[in-house]
Amino acid sequence: MTDARPGLHRPFARRETEFRPSPVRAVFELAMDPAYVSLAGGNPDTGLLPTAEVADLSAQLLRERGAEILQYGSGAGADALREAVVHLMAQTGSAVSGADVLATTGSQMGLDLVTKLFCDPGDVVIAEGPTYVGAMGVFGSYEVDLRQVPVDDAGMDPDQLAGVLDAERAAGRTVRFVYVIPHHQNPSGVTLTAERRRRVVEVCAARDVLVLEDDPYAFVGFPGNDPLPSLHSLHPEGVVHLGSMSKLFAPGLRVGWIVAPPELRARLQLAGEAVDIHPSALSQEVAAAWVTGPRWRPVLDAQRAVYAERCRVLLDALGREMPPGVHWTEPSGGFFTWLTLPGVPPGTDLLGAAIEQRLVLVPGDACFVDPPPTRHVRLAFSSGSDADLIEGARRLGAMVRAVQA
């Protein structure tokens, strides 16, 4: 496409082609239509958000410290938020200080800043296969060459990771970091086991490769599934950690954080100040007050119980509705399960087939650079009613039968 305006021989930068609608946002309107059942969006349930309490908290913060909160603040983030992060990270075994924490506008921004700081076009990043589509969009925008290491029911396979790292090095390519989503992974729902956490960290440390740990689901394990030690806790100098308030509190506030050694944190801060000067002070203050206050735990624990129950409802319905041979993961928390659909011919349009059944989901191909021949879909159970989950599984069963050869 050319642009007729004078002086614009080339309308956009090369990276423009990498900005595509996410598979979730592309179907957002259909997902809102009551004729459709949506198992697409990985959102916290709107009805479980503590809106009235947050309204009171915000009013109180503005009354008591309004002038400070409405003014420009520090590029590193509000002190209260950084202290709250110190307290949260301690619960996943990481001993950090406020100086190690950089506030971000959601962990999506953390992904962007880390990639921007480390990656030149053509540099290699290694991720899980499948991985988070939103991270793939970031890597693409910096022209990263993404490789993927398969995930099984215990998470990323460290032996295969070692093999890929060694092959890249032997081919003379620079691997800038290994991107891992360790708890209740998006999209697979799988948690990296404690043993594999140690192995992944060892494999990377032995080769002097940085780990980028993206851990927004750490605190949304089902009841009885508290977070495992973070990769950061195992090797603080070799791991940059991304956290987020989106799943443990409220995504609309857009508050996340990066934990990195102080010198690196300062460089990331400069990169961040060039983007947004600093994240919203009001959002940071509200998030900090909420997660250090008395109501966070009981509200979160109630949400975790609801998600566990919804997951059970969905998996039971899949057990009734799926044709033989279909496999799904058994999450211990988070928002997603990941299905493997054997016998679906290559090239079949899974989203189109789902829409024919008035069902919205995320087709698995979006989560791979080179999609494997066996097809997958991601289903979210976090925000659907029991009736939606059961009806969604029924429609999915009809869809799978329609597309299987």
Residues 38-57 that bind ligand PMP (CB under 6 A): 42
- DSSP E strands, 145-279: 145-152, 155-156, 175-180, 210-214, 239-244, 256-259
140 vs 251, beta carbon nearer ligand PMP: 251
List of residues 6+ apart from 252 with CB closer than 8 A = none
CB 220 within 8 A of CB 335: yes
Question: Residue 244, interface with ligand PMP (CB under 6 A)?
Answer: yes
Three-state secondary-structure class, residue 242: strand
Binding segment for ligand PMP (CB under 6 A), chosen from 102-110, 188-196, 201-209, 288-296, is 102-110
Interaction of residue 246 with ligand PMP, rule CB under 6 A:
yes
Q: Which is nearer to ligand PMP, 124 or 250 (CB)?
A: 250
Instruction: Return the range that interacts with ligand PMP (CB under 6 A); candidates 100-108, 205-213, 221-229, 313-321.
Output: 100-108
Three-state helix/strand/coil letters over 98-158: HHHEEEECHHHHHHHHHHHHHCCCCCEEEEEECCCHHHHHHHHHCCCEEEEEEEECCEECH
To the nearest whole angstrom, how small is the minimum distance from the Cβ of residue 329 to ligand PMP? 15
The H or E element spanning position 64 is helix 51-69
Is the distance from CB of 221 to CB of 332 less than 8 angstroms? yes
Tell me which of 181, 300, 390, 399 binds ligand PMP, using CB under 6 A. Answer: 181
Residue 383 contacts ligand PMP per CB under 6 A? no
Pattern 253-272, ligand PMP, x by CB under 6 A = ---x----------------
Nearest Cα to 173, choosing from 137, 203, 207?
207
Q: Strands, E, within 245-310: which ranges?
A: 256-259
Applying CB under 6 A, among 36, 118, 132, 219 the residue interacting with ligand PMP is 132
The window from 5-13, 60-68, 101-109, 139-147 that contacts ligand PMP (CB under 6 A) reads 101-109
Restricted to residues 185-214, the positions that interact with ligand PMP (CB under 6 A) are 186, 214
Please give the Cα distance from 281 to 285 (Å, whole number): 6
Q: Provide the minimum distance between the beta carbon of 282 and ligand PMP in the complex, in angstroms, as a whole number.
A: 17
Least Cβ distance, residue 186 to ligand PMP (angstroms): 4
Q: From CA 275, how far away is CA 309, in angstroms rounded? A: 40
Q: Which of 134, 140, 343, 372 binds ligand PMP (CB under 6 A)?
A: 134
The amino acid that residue 270 corresponds to is L
Using CB under 6 A as the binding rule, whether residue 182 contacts ligand PMP is answered as no
Q: Is 216 in the site for ligand PMP (CB under 6 A)?
A: yes
Interaxial angle between packed helices 281-292 and 79-90, expressed in degrees from 0 to 180 and rounded to the nearest 10:
40
Residue 187 Cβ vs ligand PMP, minimum distance, rounded to whole Å: 8
For 242, the token pair is 């991304």
Closest contact distance (angstroms) between CB of 35 and ligand PMP is 26
Nearer to ligand PMP, 364 or 397 (CB): 364
Identity of the amino acid at 92? T
Exactly one of 251, 261, 371, 372 binds ligand PMP (CB under 6 A); that residue is 251
Q: How far is the CB of 304 from ligand PMP (least distance, A)?
A: 17
Q: Is 36 in the site for ligand PMP (CB under 6 A)?
A: no
Query: Residue 259: phi, psi to the nearest 5?
Result: -110, 125
Residues in the chain: 405
Quick check: 108 binds ligand PMP (CB under 6 A)? yes
Q: Distance between CA atoms of 203 and 357, rounded to whole angstroms? A: 45
Q: How far apart are CA 236 and CA 55, in angstroms?
A: 37
Encode burial over 345-355: b for 16+ CB neighbours within 10 A, e otherwise.
eeeeebbebbb
Query: Taking CB under 6 A as the criterion, which residues in 270-299 touch ligand PMP?
Result: none
Q: Which of 379/390 has CB closer to ligand PMP?
A: 379
Listed ranges 141-149, 167-175, 244-252, 380-388: which one lies at the site for ligand PMP (CB under 6 A): 244-252
* CB distance 348 to 394 below 8 Å: no
Query: Nearest residue by C-beta to ligand PMP?
Result: 106
Which residues contact ligand PMP by CB under 6 A? 42, 106-108, 132, 134, 181, 186, 214, 216, 244, 246, 251, 256
